[in-house]
Amino acid sequence: WFKILILVALLVLFFSSAIGFIIMWFTNVYNNSILEKLILAPNTTAAEWWVTPPVYPLLKVHVFNYTNTREFLRGEDSKLRVEDLGPFVYKETAQKIDVRHNGDGTIAYREHRHIEYQPDKSHGNPFDEVMVPNVVLLTADYKAQDLHPVKQFMYGTYKTGIGASGFMRTSVDSFLWGYDDQLLSNIKSFLPSDVSSRFGMLMSRNGTGAENFTIYSGESSLEHLAVIKQMDGSTRLNQWHTDECDLVGGTDGSQFPPHLMDRSSVLQVFIKSLCRKFPLLYDSEVTALDGIPAWRYKIPPTVFQHPSVHKNNECFCPQDPKTCSPSGVFNITGCSMGAPIFASFPHFYTGDRVLIEAIDGIEPVQEKHETYADIHPRLAFPIGGASRFQINIRVQPGMDKFKQELYLPVIWLEVVPGDISDELRAMIYHSTYSANAIQMSLKIGSLAIFALSFVLVIAKCFYGRRKPNKT
């Protein structure tokens, strides 16, 4: 019986070690046990950090100052000339409000942001005056084209009477975060609009967002973790004419579904102010955040290309591709309250030469103006990177004193990781090095025990079958 018990014990050890060996070497059980900590279930650390992120991004704003507007509008200069001022740096503190766990694996919420100026990181004074496009006036000119002739005449008479111009001098702070615009207040009777009389290029970024989002919490499936299900109760943007472009989806960029981290998958980031999803493609292995290994993903240079260059962009154009904007700019009029606003990469990086050469002072540089994200390959959230976009306004003949179509750069933004709490930094470190060390130890241990138990079982069986020699 003793020999049988030993054999049974060895067999139990062998099969147990075999199961452990298979689990550690051929399944994702260990990895999934770590990733489950990312699920946004109520009363978890992940949910608490999601509501109040322990990350404080820096918003770097560059303003284009126009230096020869008078000469250009008089016809003395053939090109406008700009200088890139900044960056004016602000710390963003974000918080989810009106959070509601729906009980079906989704969470509804709104977002609140607080902006705080960082003088020690900025280049320039936010109260310096700059000459910038008069976005309110140019938008009014654009909308006035569709007015009844009588209203057009009344609007034109009023504009002439107050001496309004397509460019205005104001402080950087007022231009970005809001000022009371007398023109906007007075032309309400002429233009159908529900906007207030206060205007600022980034005014909606400081405070509580108007949008209501619903995302997947990961409780039902980690494969949908943080993916946006609805915005304002709808799965569609109602901006574009195909499902591929019009459906809400992707994540807000702060977290991605972990199963997509395999280099060949395309990550999707939804940017509400630009009314679309942006693809992120794997580029290379890098280190970020004090040497933590990461995978660098980039927005491909084709995202703003004309459909004749990149056919997948057809759905972002009107039905007639001939009316599409040139390569390098993206029409967001539909989500800019009807203003002729176009997005691009900074300094028209990847854009058509006609955009770059139309204005002096535009100097695209890949390293300064591309968008990328350094994403933790296991946890699937960014630990480095830079999101960079430019806001432009299109002017056409008949708008103020312009005689040709131009895309006027207004500002460009760069969002980079700022301060990260010690708790989050420690979690990232242990999820990388400690978890990897434990995983490797378990792999080697399971392999060693499996091999040893196999040898012992074989030896026991061989020894048990041997017959004693007769003397």
Give the model confidence (pLDDT) of 3-47 as tens digits. 667 767 766 767 777 777 677 676 677 677 788 899 999 999 999
183-193 mean pLDDT: 64
41-69 mean pLDDT: 96
Q: What is the pLDDT of residue 191?
A: 52
Q: Percent of the chain, pLDDT > 90?
A: 62
On the question of pLDDT at 155 being above 50, the answer is yes
On the question of pLDDT at 463 being above 80, the answer is no
On the question of pLDDT at 386 being above 50, the answer is yes
400 vs 268: which has the higher pLDDT:
268
160 pLDDT band (50/70/90 cuts)?
A: confident
On the question of pLDDT at 245 being above 50, the answer is yes
354-373 mean pLDDT: 97
51 vs 143: which has the higher pLDDT:
51
Residue 73 to residues 66, 221, 428: CA-CA distances in angstroms? Answer: 12, 59, 55
Q: What is the pLDDT of residue 91?
A: 97
449-465 mean pLDDT: 71
Phi and psi at residue 270, in whole multiples of 5°? -100, 125
348-355 mean pLDDT: 97
Residue 262 to residues 52, 203, 250, 363, 380: CA-CA distances in angstroms? Answer: 29, 38, 17, 35, 10
Q: What is the pLDDT of residue 22?
A: 76
236-253 mean pLDDT: 92
Number of H helices, E strands in the chain: 13, 19
125 pLDDT band (50/70/90 cuts)?
A: very high
448-462 mean pLDDT: 73
Rounded to an integer, what distance in angstroms lies between the CA atom of residue 176 and that of residue 24?
Answer: 54
Q: Which range in 238-242, 267-271, 402-406, 437-441 is most confidently predicted, on average pLDDT?
A: 267-271
461 pLDDT band (50/70/90 cuts)?
A: confident
Burial of 434 (0-12, 13-18, 19+ CB in 10 A): exposed
Phi and psi at residue 129, in whole multiples of 5°? -90, 145
Peptide linkage before 87 cis (omega within 30 of 0): yes
471 pLDDT band (50/70/90 cuts)?
A: very low
Burial of 137 (0-12, 13-18, 19+ CB in 10 A): buried
124-141 mean pLDDT: 94
Q: Across all residues in the chain, what is the average pLDDT?
A: 89
191 vs 133: which has the higher pLDDT:
133
Contact 446, 17 (CB under 8 A): yes
Alpha helices in 87-163 (DSSP H): 135-144, 149-162
Q: What is the pLDDT of residue 469?
A: 56
pTM beyond 0.85, yes or no: yes
Single-letter code of the amino acid located at 450: F
Q: Which of 455, 469, 11 is nearest to 3 (CA)?
A: 11
On the question of pLDDT at 118 being above 90, the answer is yes
On the question of pLDDT at 100 being above 90, the answer is yes
Q: What is the pLDDT of residue 306?
A: 93
Rounded to an integer, what distance in angstroms lies between the CA atom of residue 34 and that of residue 435?
Answer: 8
Q: Which range in 178-182, 200-204, 460-464 is most confidently predicted, on average pLDDT?
A: 200-204
Q: What is the pLDDT of residue 2?
A: 62
- DSSP letter (8 states) at residue 467: P
On the question of pLDDT at 217 being above 90, the answer is yes
Q: What is the pLDDT of residue 182?
A: 78
40 vs 145: which has the higher pLDDT:
40
188 vs 279: which has the higher pLDDT:
279
Rounded to an integer, what distance in angstroms lies between the CA atom of residue 361 and that of residue 379?
Answer: 41
464 vs 377: which has the higher pLDDT:
377
Q: Percent of the chain, pLDDT > 70?
A: 90
